[in-house]
Amino acid sequence: YLAAMGHAFSDKATGITDALQKDGTPAERLERFIDSFTKLMASDPDFRALLQRELLDGDETRLRLLAEQAFMEPFQAMMELARGLAPDCDAHMVAISMAGLVLFHFETAPVRQFLPGGAKRHNDPKVVAKHVIRLLDRAFRLT
């Protein structure tokens, strides 16, 4: 199970790492990352559910495996991007926050439809990515 899980997560992490390549400005890399990560989270609900399960279960052995075998490389690239976007902030916290903006949107999808202002279009990954990019552009004063 551990090997299969590690493989499933590392396959997904490769696309994220590719989106974070050093080519381009920090703003361009941010847009590529958010677009790629949002598409991944939207396109694979089983992967999202597995990720949520592991986070909620909290098994230290499996979490360490995920961190070391699947998330280490993309997270280091995210931290590098974070340093370029907000050199005066904690890069670890910025990287977690960028991912969290996308992840939480999908995690709350079942309840959002019942909240004021909830709209079906908010489930469109392009709408989510555009929103998160705009929000982060303003936060980092990129535009």
Contact 92, 79 (CB under 8 A): yes
CATH code of the domain containing 11: 1.10.357.10
In angstroms, the CA 7 to CA 118 distance is 36
Tokens of 6: 């590690």
| pLDDT value at residue 136 | 96
Contact 32, 24 (CB under 8 A): yes
Segment 10-17 mean pLDDT = 77
Whole-structure pTM value: 0.88
Task: Say which residue the tokens 């303003």 belong to.
Answer: 138
Domain count, the chain: 1
pLDDT tens readout for residues 48-65:
888 888 899 999 998 998
Contact 66, 79 (CB under 8 A): no
Which residue range forms the structural domain that includes residue 12? 2-139
pLDDT tens readout for residues 62-119:
899 888 888 899 999 999 999 999 999 999 999 999 999 999 999 999 999 999 999 9
Place 20 in a pLDDT band, splitting at 50, 70 and 90.
confident
